[in-house]
Structure 1
Amino acid sequence: MKGIGASPGIAIGKVLVKKDPEIKIEKKSIENVDAEIKRLEEARKVSKEQINKLYEHTLKNIGEKEAKIFEAHSMILDDPEFFGQVEQKIKSEEVNAEFALNEVTNNFVQIFESMDNEYMKERAADIKDVSSRVIKQLLGIETTDLSRLEEEVIIIAEDLTPSDTAQMDKEKVLGFVTEIGGKTAHSAIMARTLEIPAVVGVEGITTSVKNGDILIFDGEEGNVIVNPEEKVIEEYKNKKEEYEKFRERLAELKGAKSETKDGFEVELVANIGTPKDVDGVIRNDGEGVGLYRTEFLYMDRDDLPTEDEQFEAYKEVAERLEGKPVVIRTLDIGGDKDLPYLELPEEMNPFLGYRAIRLCLDRTDIFKTQLRALLRASAYGNIKIMFPMISSIEELRQAKAILEEVKEELRSENVKFNEEIEVGMMIEIPAAAIMSDVFAKEVDFFSIGTNDLLQYTTAVDRGNRQISYLYNQFHPALLRLVKQVIDNGHKAGIWVGMCGEVAGDPKLIPILIGMGLDEFSMSPISILKARWIINNLSREEMKEMAEKVINLPTAEEVKKFIEENIKIEF
């Protein structure tokens, strides 16, 4: 069976199928409305206690970002509008609490799921999770407790909620496989944070296995094998052992240079979303931060973050990295990232619409607040400012002019900041890549955002499953644009980095070395493996490979050429 590799590692073990008991909700007439509402309140109270425990456990054992999921769940339990409608239904229709709650939940979920917005669709999943918890309390249904497992198991489920993954006993859960989900699902993110192997999107897995079956899966490749023969088990045991030894060897690279055999040195830095993520950067010996996604400061809240809130977050990251570079991207909201409290307009094509720098240049009040916080924080470390979604030289000049206005304001207030702060831009729109020779004269650096650059270059919505096969990072058009941007940046004397998924792809890292990329920004867990690859390459040899690759006509031929001609033994 085949799925999507969501968290690396090899798992071999017994299956535990997590199937919650079927919940049958019957409509019943009640006589004592007050008693029914009291029963609902008791179920909410117990659910709140459970969620608070999950929040504390997650905060202590996983991280602040992951714990925020349960803050959101707690807020739903306290939502007077949501539960007010449930109580009103109990009173007006004289029905049982679980029926009323299920009806109101279905209405809310239908509204959220119909929205053309990923953030709001995720809120629908949160409402379902919370409602299910309360309904189980009302019906007295007990579910599989993943925090109290008696033996080591591989969890199989249709899906896993944030509650499920947060309470997993890391010592007993060898990994998990789900029928639905993608790499960006809550459960996948949690798995990577906990460093538990995981595969998602394996159709039919819950009906193909039963408790006690033996399962093997590869969390990187997405391969799943049910009840394998003994020789296959031995083969994967050897692979698992090799993988663990490889991780140990990678740990020995901490403190080593990120350079090729012939002395070409690059920077291996990390993509982060919150100050808490710096722990992973330090643990994996990152040489700085190549992309700090500031939008997470603005999400999961009811209003804009203040200047001081932002200043403290940026300052914390800069200080903890002790002079290492921290590239901070200005607000990139829009597309698949929405802020309900900003009441952004509904758009036919949000990825091509009012987002990122376009929003900031329109809402200069929001933009200036962020720039003030960034400049103030620059006095405490090596912060660099990066503008996203630039498509024209006019936008870049306007953004730089606003930055200069803010600098002048701070000077007049005698507020310290780094007067020599570097200012760069993302190259994620084909227009910017094509005009990169012009842009290079007006910035200190480029960072290539391959996720959007590929999407816009090939006209493929990367979230559309029907055409996902067309979204291929080996596409020669993407590689040609990357080469063009690097060459144009170097001709103008600026450094060029990359913060898209391609930067951490083991197969494409050698080609990027050959192209002369200066900085690779990726998830912290990928840094040491990337260093291993780079240490085993020759820059001169990779230059030849890169030239050959960009002249191939198809993505499949590019991938095949790399696999056949660039061998790195792990």
Structure 2
Amino acid sequence: MKIFKGIPVSPGIVVHQVKTILSESFPFPDRFISDDKIDNEIERYQSACRQAKENLDKTKIRVSESIGQDFAEIFDSHKHILEDETIQKDTELRIRNNLFSAEYAVTTIFKKYKKMFQSMGKDSVLSQRVADIDDIERRLLKILMGVTGDISKFITKDAVYVARSLRPSQAVILNNKFVKGVATELGGATSHFSIMLRAVGLPGIVGVEGLTKELVDDQTIILDGHTGHVILDPDEVTLEKYEKLQIRFQAYEDAIIKERHLPAETIDGFRVSLFGNIEFPTEAKGIIQNGGEGIGLYRTEFLFVDTEQFPNEKQHYNAYEAAAKDLKGRPFVIRTMDLGADKFADVTGADQESNPFLGCRSIRFCYENPSILITQLKAILRASVLGNIKILFPMISSIEELKWALNQLDIAKHELTIAGVKYAEKIPVGIMVEVPSIAIIADDIAPLVDFFSIGTNDLIQYTLAVDRDNKSVSRLYSASHPAVLKLIKMTIDAANRYNIDVCLCGEMASNPAYIPILIGFGLTEFSISSHSIPFIKNLIRKMTYSKIQEITNDVMFKKTSKDIYNYLSSEVRDLMPDYYSESV
């Protein structure tokens, strides 16, 4: 029996035989051409782009019919990549100036973009778009080389399908009666492939390093889409346990889905609000369908993904308008750009940074490039007349930074006023509490804003000085560390003292184990992934506020991360045993 650990991206438990999806490979042609072939080679490239766009339109139709229009629109971003003038110009210049073949020019250009995105760290939203870039590259290469066929040739029987990496366009092929679950060695929780995997309802785990090297087809495999465990050749005891868990979880999931629109309220009447995190405007409907009360965090980074140029006001507005209309007046929190200077080095001329996460990113980058922030703020303000929209500034670390950001908002308002454009003058403004310095001075910050949003992913990383992508220290990354919990409580206490809203929107909020202590700290708003909403709501409806207070008081006497997490897990496991798998 061999046990692997990955990132769970779609819940469920599967026990089945395994089958490998082999990586596509095709012979690479000549890398260089002669002078007299330049124009013909450029035409080959342009023709491949046209055909790739036609193929994407067909893929979009298939996805719309099998999964839904919302998810089909993910492929609009692929078309944007194909239509990007910078990419097209660079590719054609490499053909003309370097005498590259069309295939080699495409490969070198897309390699540049993939390397740039990968440099942003595994947790970066942009780094998880590498699969999208790879998808477009392979489409073009297959057309240029005349290669036909897709992964459907591997999907021939009931099995859990495993691959080194899979692309978003392949997710629709996996929506197949033979596919019982999916695991990949590469990928992240917010990649387009993971989003679509959740959409088709397949249990899935990504980031399972070394898996394909260890398996052979027809081995028995277990996927635990809750813990991220993948088990090859389980022993009889483990196999029997998971077969029972599989049946039990399916019945549990069916039951809670029916109750997803009930209020998130404890047995003794304590009410909590559950919102959703999104990255694309098309995801807003899914939050509401799963029982969410609105959007607690809209990550706008996708607007900056498909081009090295900055999005204009219209592009921003169109995205916000689409989501606002779907939300129909429900709360809609839009976070301003949370990217670093490294993403835009070619545009701004900025030097590459050795440690982007401690450098010129988010509000710091906007300080150096204020027009980018003002453009985004003007679009948000314009959209504010369409619904209950709020502005969220990320990466604030001092009062000075906050006051600067608020001044930029005033400038944006003034420009719209001069232009005669309507907007909500009293639009609520908040900040992400993700830097320890802000949690420590939360009492000084609270009077200046309308709400706090606690971003635990970065708060944990900065508090504990741990890069969770670094295997040698990732074990130290823990939301249950007493210092992290104290900073969270300090923030909630300050918000409550000044009567402003406070929401927690990191991965911590999607982990049922932390729900009791967070509510016990005084938190009443959570923003979580869409698929987590029914499960967290079910837990809250099984608790009493008096029990929550008891759990919180007990935790305060524990001194280590391990003791705290084990205690919280045991308490929650008793309330939702069908959700949890026993550790392996």
What TM-score comes out, normalization by structure 1 length? 0.86
1:112-148 Cα offsets, whole Å, 9 max, x none, are 5378435886677666555555555676666553288
Counterparts of 1:142-541 in structure 2, within 5 Å, are 145-146=151-152, 149-228=155-234, 233-334=239-340, 341-411=347-417, 413-541=419-547
Aligned pair partner of 1:74 in 77, 82, 90: 82
- Mapped to 2, the partners of 1:449 and 1:551 lie a distance apart of 25
Structure 1 residues 197, 79: closer, same or farther in 2, change over 3 A?
A: same
- Mapped to 2, the partners of 1:459 and 1:28 lie a distance apart of 45
Q: Provide the secondary structure at the position in 1 that maps to 2:424.
A: coil
- Mapped to 2, the partners of 1:126 and 1:465 lie a distance apart of 26
Structure 1 residues 246, 125: closer, same or farther in 2, change over 3 A?
A: closer
Q: How well do the aligned residues superpose, as a CA RMSD in angstroms?
A: 3.6
Tell me if the contact between 2:461 and 2:477 (Cα under 8 Å) persists in the aligned partners.
yes
Equivalent residue, structure 2, for 1:568: 575
Deviation at 1:49, TM superposition (A): 4.8
Unaligned runs of 5+ in 1: 92-96
- Mapped to 2, the partners of 1:20 and 1:559 lie a distance apart of 39
Equivalent residue, structure 1, for 2:9: 6
- Mapped to 1, the partners of 2:386 and 2:420 lie a distance apart of 16
AA in 2 matched with 1:220: H
Equivalent residue, structure 2, for 1:53: 58
Q: Provide the secondary structure at the position in 1 that maps to 2:449.
A: coil
The range that moved more, 183-192 or 509-518, is 183-192
Counterparts of 1:7-46 in structure 2, within 5 Å, are 7-20=10-23, 23=26, 25=28
Deviation at 1:153, TM superposition (A): 2.6
Deviation at 1:264, TM superposition (A): 1.6
- Mapped to 2, the partners of 1:32 and 1:340 lie a distance apart of 29
Q: Provide the secondary structure at the position in 1 that maps to 2:376.
A: helix
Tell me if the contact between 1:170 and 1:196 (Cα under 8 Å) persists in the aligned partners.
no
AA in 1 matched with 2:195: I
Structure 1 residues 187, 552: closer, same or farther in 2, change over 3 A?
A: same
Deviation at 1:527, TM superposition (A): 0.9
Aligned pair partner of 2:94 in 85, 95, 98: 85
Tell me if the contact between 1:109 and 1:124 (Cα under 8 Å) persists in the aligned partners.
no
Identity over the aligned pairs, expressed in percent?
A: 36
AA in 2 matched with 1:85: R
Deviation at 1:522, TM superposition (A): 0.7
The range that moved more, 370-379 or 522-531, is 370-379
Deviation at 1:344, TM superposition (A): 4.3
Deviation at 1:285, TM superposition (A): 1.4
- Mapped to 1, the partners of 2:437 and 2:365 lie a distance apart of 19
- Mapped to 1, the partners of 2:296 and 2:113 lie a distance apart of 38
Aligned pair partner of 2:107 in 105, 108, 118: 105
Deviation at 1:456, TM superposition (A): 0.9
The range that moved more, 179-188 or 155-164, is 179-188
Q: Provide the secondary structure at the position in 2 that maps to 1:167.
A: helix
The range that moved more, 467-476 or 541-550, is 541-550
- Mapped to 2, the partners of 1:259 and 1:82 lie a distance apart of 56
Structure 1 residues 54, 516: closer, same or farther in 2, change over 3 A?
A: same
Deviation at 1:316, TM superposition (A): 3.1
Tell me if the contact between 1:335 and 1:352 (Cα under 8 Å) persists in the aligned partners.
no
Equivalent residue, structure 2, for 1:94: none
Unaligned runs of 5+ in 2: 579-584
AA in 2 matched with 1:191: L
- Mapped to 1, the partners of 2:318 and 2:145 lie a distance apart of 46
The range that moved more, 427-436 or 197-206, is 197-206
Q: Provide the secondary structure at the position in 2 that maps to 1:446.
A: strand
Tell me if the contact between 2:342 and 2:353 (Cα under 8 Å) persists in the aligned partners.
no
The range that moved more, 387-396 or 309-318, is 309-318
Q: Provide the secondary structure at the position in 2 that maps to 1:237.
A: helix
- Mapped to 2, the partners of 1:373 and 1:426 lie a distance apart of 20
1:221-276 Cα offsets, whole Å, 9 max, x none, are 12223344677555433322222222222122233111222222111001112220
Count the aligned residue pairs. Answer: 563
- Mapped to 2, the partners of 1:224 and 1:122 lie a distance apart of 21
Q: Provide the secondary structure at the position in 2 that maps to 1:466.
A: coil
Q: Provide the secondary structure at the position in 2 that maps to 1:259.
A: coil
Q: Provide the secondary structure at the position in 2 that maps to 1:426.
A: strand
The range that moved more, 514-523 or 342-351, is 342-351
Structure 1 residues 130, 216: closer, same or farther in 2, change over 3 A?
A: same
Deviation at 1:515, TM superposition (A): 0.7
- Mapped to 2, the partners of 1:20 and 1:366 lie a distance apart of 40
Deviation at 1:358, TM superposition (A): 2.3
- Mapped to 2, the partners of 1:72 and 1:462 lie a distance apart of 32
- Mapped to 1, the partners of 2:443 and 2:358 lie a distance apart of 24
Deviation at 1:458, TM superposition (A): 0.9
- Mapped to 2, the partners of 1:21 and 1:443 lie a distance apart of 52
Structure 1 residues 364, 154: closer, same or farther in 2, change over 3 A?
A: same
- Mapped to 2, the partners of 1:305 and 1:377 lie a distance apart of 16
- Asked if 1:117 corresponds to 2:120, the answer is yes
- Mapped to 2, the partners of 1:501 and 1:368 lie a distance apart of 29
Tell me if the contact between 2:341 and 2:365 (Cα under 8 Å) persists in the aligned partners.
no
Structure 1 residues 534, 51: closer, same or farther in 2, change over 3 A?
A: same
Tell me if the contact between 2:84 and 2:307 (Cα under 8 Å) persists in the aligned partners.
no
Tell me if the contact between 2:129 and 2:191 (Cα under 8 Å) persists in the aligned partners.
no
Deviation at 1:411, TM superposition (A): 4.4
- Mapped to 1, the partners of 2:551 and 2:217 lie a distance apart of 49
1:277-305 Cα offsets, whole Å, 9 max, x none, are 11211210111111111232233135333
AA in 1 matched with 2:388: N
- Mapped to 1, the partners of 2:109 and 2:318 lie a distance apart of 40
- Mapped to 2, the partners of 1:158 and 1:426 lie a distance apart of 35
Structure 1 residues 553, 132: closer, same or farther in 2, change over 3 A?
A: same
AA in 2 matched with 1:271: N
1:15-59 Cα offsets, whole Å, 9 max, x none, are 221124764558699999859959966877765654443344346
Structure 1 residues 311, 339: closer, same or farther in 2, change over 3 A?
A: farther
